[in-house]
Chains A and B, each alone.
Chain A
């Protein structure tokens, strides 16, 4: 039996299809990207090899690149410290409710998360529309007229609005992750803390949160990748504008290549993007993992 479970032929047959697809559609293009990133090329016609010049240009002369990293960082901070904290609190409330009520509420809270980003974005673009949008009407109704304006085309509120749409869309996932993590916290742990005289808040701080550390870590790592990947909402709502106030790295590279025909340059951003995504995730994993073992 051991011979079958370590049969080279069988292993090859089993892993080959999946691996080939991944090599073909992920690894090969990234290596190609590395090559194109060293060229001055529009995507058509003659190609000129220029070494690392594109990278120098991105890092030294491209404020939009840095702006998009800054925006991703803002999005991440809001996601982790507002959306996640809120989702954790709501999840902690839901696990203490009756099964029926908690099931119902989880279903409701998760609905936006399953919709395509196109519907979500266009929905909020309509809600934030200055002429007929729900948001401005609501503010007028609440006598907050001084807040009424064009949310997505005012540089002061555009990024905030984009961040809001993003965390609104992703809230259900964060909630679901925390909820399923919280259901695994042993009752005895919480009761022991309560016997020791801890109130609900102290119990969470001293017992539940440390127990949940691996889940929190996993969610934060997912947050990091998804904040870096932000693109579709921006593409459909503001196209990075006004100015470059809502640029994100994925949309920046897309625009450079397909709108401004700087294909080689776009690939250099793309390669930097891979490096950033990989290194930040690995760093976060190390950092958070060493935190756990304390």
Chain B
């Protein structure tokens, strides 16, 4: 804002107007499909077939949501998602914190090899484990169990989480641990009482990234969980489409319900997502 053109009364230049229109169009293209979805979730299915591009509901059909919730068995799928995701996030945070601590602040010969192996996890596509794990997990009776998806969720979130934690751990001064070790504190106390609280932001960032990854994961859940009572939230949409194929409005309501939870979480934690990306892409 230092250039002479901006001194005095603010004037809108053609370039600014162009930028404004560009940003507005982009915002529209990212949001309008979701608004469209929400809008028609409140109408009767037949309204969708009208000529107009967009039409507000005459009378909002909130009962679509009641039907979606009930017939889509949202409560059951939601509970399953919460159980699977909660265990996954908790274990991802603990395991990757421990691994990152050993790989960042401790000195040992195989450190770089182990760290390199962990990072490889980021390049391996989950899809390459779908076929072999289908047979391999049978040996351990893990097919169609929650553990059978929690374990691969942990495995595939390790690389990125360790990378994130390393960024946060590297910035903690060594003096902290040194004095504690000299005072004779045990490693467990030091990790839990000194290091972990200082890497608080790391925990939130890893937690939220892992949440988005696991909460939205579909293909492993689809392959490994076969019984209806164990499946996770994205299935309510698939199941609903199968059963109420022509009931578009209720399908839309079901999709809105599934979409709303990560949106709420995102608004609560968006600051940390950005912190995580910064740590991961710039420092890492």
Contacts and interface: CB of A to CB of B under 8 A. Distances in A.
Contacts of B6: none
B180 to A, nearest CB: 9
B255 A17 contact: no
Given A14-B101, A257-B134, 17 more contacts: A29-B129, A33-B129, A112-B30, A116-B215, A116-B262, A117-B216, A118-B258, A122-B251, A126-B248, A131-B49, A134-B53, A225-B122, A225-B125, A231-B127, A250-B127, A266-B131, A267-B132
Interface in A252-285: 253-254, 257-258, 263, 266-267, 270-271, 273-274, 277-278, 281
B23 interface: yes
9 contacts: A14-B102, A18-B154, A19-B99, A108-B30, A111-B263, A115-B216, A134-B33, A134-B53, A229-B126
A141 B52 CA distance: 8
A73 B154 CA distance: 30
A132 B158 contact: no
Interface in A125-184: 126-127, 131-132, 134, 137-138, 141, 168, 171-172, 176-177, 180-181, 183-184
B contacts with A: majority SS: helix
A10 interface: yes
Interface of B: 19, 22-23, 26-27, 29-31, 33-34, 36-37, 48-49, 51-53, 94-96, 98-99, 101-103, 105-108, 114, 117-118, 120-136, 151-152, 154-156, 158, 162, 177-178, 181-182, 187, 212, 215-216, 218-219, 223, 233-234, 237-238, 241, 248, 251-252, 255, 258-259, 262-263, 265-267, 270, 273-274, 277-278, 281-282, 284
Nearest to B140: A24
A228 B252 CA distance: 30
Interface string A96-109: 00000000011111
